[in-house]
Amino acid sequence: MNKITIAIDGFSSTGKSTIAKQLAQKLHYVYVDSGAMYRAVTFYAMQQEYISECYFFKDKLINNLEDIHLSFCYNSELGFAEIFLNNVNVENDIRSLEVSNFVSRIAEVPEVRRKLVEQQQEFGKNKGVVMDGRDIGTVVFPDAELKFFINASADKRAKRRFDELIKKGDKVTYNEILKNVEYRDRIDSTREDSPLIKAIDAIEIDNSDLSLTEQFDKIYEIVQNKLRNI
Ligand code: DC
């Protein structure tokens, strides 16, 4: 059967990566979490002290972009590929609230976007890929055969992210998370370079009131239809 490219975009904490992982597993496609790439660059900038609450040495980051090597390595126990920054597994480090608080500023930098988009396009050049992010259907793969735009209320998204972080043992409050979700929504959708917008040919799914199974079944049916008609 011909392989296709599936782009999944949407606001933060809408569960895009859960759907993307499930789809990739079911279809035996490659899954790429493009947000993890922006998070890993953010983690690098924090490690190098290029960014903090008081400053952002954007030029230093831009001048050292060549020192950042990102790769994914499939973890069969987890069932997805973890991200490596300069050969170190940073999958856990990049999920902290601190990284979440800085990532939108890093993702606004056009030079960072150019570098990551190039690598994302390379990952998807043979099709058979499910990629989730903010600009996958609009910029990375504008010709993707199937595009989804996932949405849910800010309250539901914050609640889900809060539960996830608490389970991991992070000390966070629901209000902190809600603030971060709303802040990222604003920056992601108003930035100049590749703002988060729904591609005109994307199928919108609001999962505020859908269970994971209901959501998967709905999306998988659309994928099956597409694959039958390709
Ligand atoms: O999906 P996520 O929450 O892990 O993404 C982290 C941040 O990265 C998000 O706030 C915006 C940015 N991002 C982006 O600008 N473009 C993408 N394709 C993916 C993520």
Per-domain residue ranges of the chain? 5-208
Average pLDDT, the chain: 94
Mutate to test the pocket of ligand 1, among 38, 43, 129 (most ligand atoms within 8 A of CB): 38
Residues comprising the chain, all counted: 230
Q: How does pLDDT run across 119-153, given as a tens digit for each residue?
A: 999 999 999 999 999 999 999 999 999 999 999 99
| 108 C-beta closer than 6 A to ligand 1 | no
Q: Residue whose CA is closest, atom 11 of ligand 1? A: 104
Of 92, 83, 81, 77, whose CA–CA distance to 170 is shortest?
92
Q: How does pLDDT run across 158-196, given as a tens digit for each residue?
A: 999 999 889 988 899 999 999 999 998 998 899 899 899
CATH class of 5-208: alpha beta
Distance 58 CA to ligand 1 centre (A): 18
Confidence of residue 113 (pLDDT cuts 50, 70, 90): very high
What is the predicted pLDDT for the residue at 191? 87
pLDDT of 1 higher than 80: no
CA 225/CA 207 separation, integer angstroms: 20
pLDDT of 230 higher than 90: no
CA 181/CA 54 separation, integer angstroms: 21
